[in-house]
Amino acid sequence: MADDPGARSSPEIPLPLRVIRGGKIVYHVGSLADLATLAATDKLSPIDEIDGLQPGNPIDLYAVPEIARALAERQEFWLRRNGRALTIGAMFFGLPFLIFIGSSVRKWWADGMENGEFQVLLFIIVALVMNLVVPLVQTIRRRQRLQQLGRSDALVEAVPGRDDRLLATHLGGENRSVTWTVVGVMLALLGPSLVGLAIGNERLVELFAKVNERIFAGEIWRLVTPIFLHANFMHLGMNVLLFQILGLQVANLFGPGRMVVLFLGCGVAGSVASLVAEPRPSIGASGGVLGLAGVLLATGIRAWGRLPPVARRHLTTGIGLTVVINLALGFFIPNIDNACHIGGLAAGLLMGSLLPFSPTTETFLRPTDRKQTVPS
């Protein structure tokens, strides 16, 4: 990258340097060149700071042009590498699936398609788009953006603000209590479901599925137990993967204990909605999973004025897209209990609008401003 003659000068920084992460000193460095070396070897975090001249007033790494340049060059390196990996993945995995999709569509057009075949086809298309096409397009666009900016000052302006970087780190953080809680719920979902799929679901479904007649006869536990059973490996895999992503964020925003309560509460709300609107038996954790998405979506709307821009887009547009895709799948794929999805989502939206954030999350949000309004 070319040097910018008009670039900002570095703020005055005492030597030797101390790198601070989360209030703790993680590195002692002798010079800015040594600090740039740390940045070039992926040893610095986007939330790191360095000591300034005033105690208690550390300097953001991205405020130092030399370090911002090193971090941007490292980001471009990883974007190139990820782009190559995604391109290879698209060639070796996407091409065979595209051939399969093409032949399936031709068969469907000529002879019709069984429900199970349609489910597999739609799942493959969604998986390809979400896991290969969308990440590849995003990577290419980000790399083009970096190349267009070119100079460190412009790159610093393009980097999300520090409040966005702090909140993103908080949302994806994996402290011990959060990690073990998320893993525990995932094991609780995997265990009974895998046993049922291994020995045949018929007996477990008979005992624990949501069956309207049995619930009206007094077997109230059937509002809870369906959450821990799944119809097939694809059903189980999608729910566990989505839970891992959404559950981690909800646990960091509200606390791990509340995340479990939210997940189970939304799952039960989904079972109740299914009891009212779906006469057929059903199983699965989709109501709880969509409920967690609803909690995050409600958080983005409720805290609109307190969220930094990138987090705001993630919790509204990003999570909203996840909700739309899952509801659309429910309408297009036969034998999906969309009443459960909608019931869990509605419960999540309600609880996410009312439940207070954890004290830690409050420290990452902007102070309340009663003049701030949500988008119409």
Tokens of 270: 């989904």
HSE-CB of 120 using CA atoms within 13 angstroms: 13
Residue 368 corresponds to which amino acid?
T
First to last CA, the chain: 43
Sign, Cα dihedral of 255, 319, 157, 173: positive
With contact defined as beta carbons under 8 Å apart, do 292 and 247 qualify?
A: yes
With contact defined as beta carbons under 8 Å apart, do 129 and 123 qualify?
A: no
Active-site pick, 170, 235, 314, 341: 341
Inter-helix orientation angle 256-277/286-302, to 10°: 120
Q: Which helix (H) or strand (E) holds 66?
A: helix 65-89
With contact defined as beta carbons under 8 Å apart, do 162 and 47 qualify?
A: yes
230 is a catalytic site residue = no
Sign, Cα dihedral of 332, 336, 342, 344: negative
Q: CA of 354: how far to CAs of 202, 213, 262, 294, 346, in Å? A: 39, 33, 12, 12, 13
314 is a catalytic site residue = no
With contact defined as beta carbons under 8 Å apart, do 294 and 344 qualify?
A: yes
Active-site pick, 152, 193, 274, 286: 286
Residue among 263, 241, 244, 226 at smallest CA distance from 352: 263
Report which DSSP code applies to 222: G
Question: Which distant-in-sequence residues (6+ apart) come within 8 Å of 221 by Cβ?
Answer: 208
Residue among 306, 295, 277 at smallest CA distance from 346: 295
Tell me the sheet residues that pair with 210. Answer: 282
Sheet holding 17-21, edge to edge: 24-29, 17-21, 49-50, 59-60
Catalytic residue set: 286, 341
